Amino acid sequence: MAGQPAPLGATPILLGTGNPAKQQTLQWLLEGLPLSPVTPGRLGLRTVPRERGDTHEAIARAKARDWSRAASALAIASDGGLLLPALGTRWDSRHTHRFAGPEADDAHRLRRLLNLMRPYQGPQREASWIEAVAIADRGKVLASWELRGATGVIADGPGDTARATGFWAFSVWYFPQFGKTYNQLSPEELEALQDHWARLRVLVRHFFGGYATTGGG
């Protein structure tokens, strides 16, 4: 998901996250569009919007709204989480990053998740991902989407947080048909799975195509 230089005269758009890996993913969504992605750090924005909302889409919309208001510009933001049906009400995908406590690091989150899943075997270890993306301009939400990703399982091994490509859970989200965890999948394998990020990219690009023709921004 490497970025390319923005076209001359491109419209600035804030990548609404302080996470470098997520910034890279959001920039990939916008690649080739007449937009000039900028990070909060480059604009001197230090305050991260508080997550709020009953769904990932609502949270993404609130983030995009707050970031765009802070930057007085276009902004794109996202929110996602792991879906674990076997855990029922003991798991909330919205709290995937915080479920092990506010001070937990990735290794601690990984151990905690594997402990939670230890009683389950086979299909009971089913796991998928849900991701939402929203676009806002100076406090007004322009568009948002929420998609569910492919279904795999939580591997029963220790995982490898060093290879999690920006998110620890991807190192144990396993796809038996490929014999790989999510972070090991090739672009072709992700396409075969109809990966949520690839589908979101299509939606974002379609939106900005219409946005440009109607004189938005």
Q: Residue 160 catalytic?
A: no
What are the backbone angles phi and psi of residue 78, rounded to the nearest 5°?
-145, 165
Q: Are strands 35-38 and 126-137 parallel, antiparallel or unpaired?
A: unpaired
Which of 54, 66, 79, 106 is the catalytic position? 79
- How far apart, in whole angstroms, are the C-alpha atoms of residue 171 and residue 152? 12
Give me the residues paired with residue 38 across strands. Answer: 14
Distance CA 118, CA 24 (A): 33
How far does the chain reach from its first CA to its final CA, in angstroms? Answer: 26
As beta bridge partners, residue 13 has: 37, 74
- Rounded to whole angstroms, the Cα distance separating 185 from 191 reads 10
Give the residue numbers annotated as catalytic, written as ranges. Answer: 79
